[in-house]
Amino acid sequence: MAPTIDAARRRADYERLRDDLLDIRTRIADIEATADSPDGLVSATVVGRGELSELYLDPRIYRTKDSKALASSIVDTIKDAVEQSREQLFEITRQYLPADAKLEGTDVHTDPFMHQLDKQIEGA
């Protein structure tokens, strides 16, 4: 005997998931994270999914001619800001992940949605 599919329930589940995704998209657009280098000479702001939106270089950076150190400081500061935005994204999508999900090991861009699709496929 083939299982019965409740088309109305399935449609409502998909509509709810779609509405949730639209809400998440709006909340992701509101993400903004700023990080400062330890010496305070570099500041980086990222938005959304970690796109660099602002970079501030204090004029005092020109007092040294170590371009490799400056480049490293800029990259590290941007990485810190991106990590902050990733943490915010994890919190936004947390309710769509398994209860035991941790930021480390979670692809915050796709795992929440894959988990929800898996639940739909399983009929949970």
The residue to which tokens 């699709």 are assigned? 117
Length of the chain in terms of residues written: 124
pLDDT of res. 32: 96
Could you tell me the pTM of the whole model? 0.77
Q: Which residues, listed in sequence order, are joined to residue 52 by a DSSP beta bridge?
A: 46
Cα 54 to Cα 120: distance, rounded to the nearest angstrom: 40
Given a contact cutoff of 8 angstroms between Cβ atoms, the answer to whether 98 and 124 are in contact is: no
pLDDT of res. 3: 64
pLDDT of res. 120: 67
pLDDT of res. 2: 62
77 contact partners, CB below 8 Å, separation of at least 6: 35, 36, 37, 42, 43, 44
Q: What are the two backbone dihedrals, phi and then psi, of residue 36, each rounded to the nearest 5 degrees?
A: -120, 145
Q: What are the CA-CA distances from residue 42 to residues 32, 57, 68, 74, 75 (Å)?
A: 17, 5, 14, 6, 10
Cα 15 to Cα 75: distance, rounded to the nearest angstrom: 41
DSSP-derived letter for residue 4 is P
pLDDT beneath 50: ranges in the chain: none
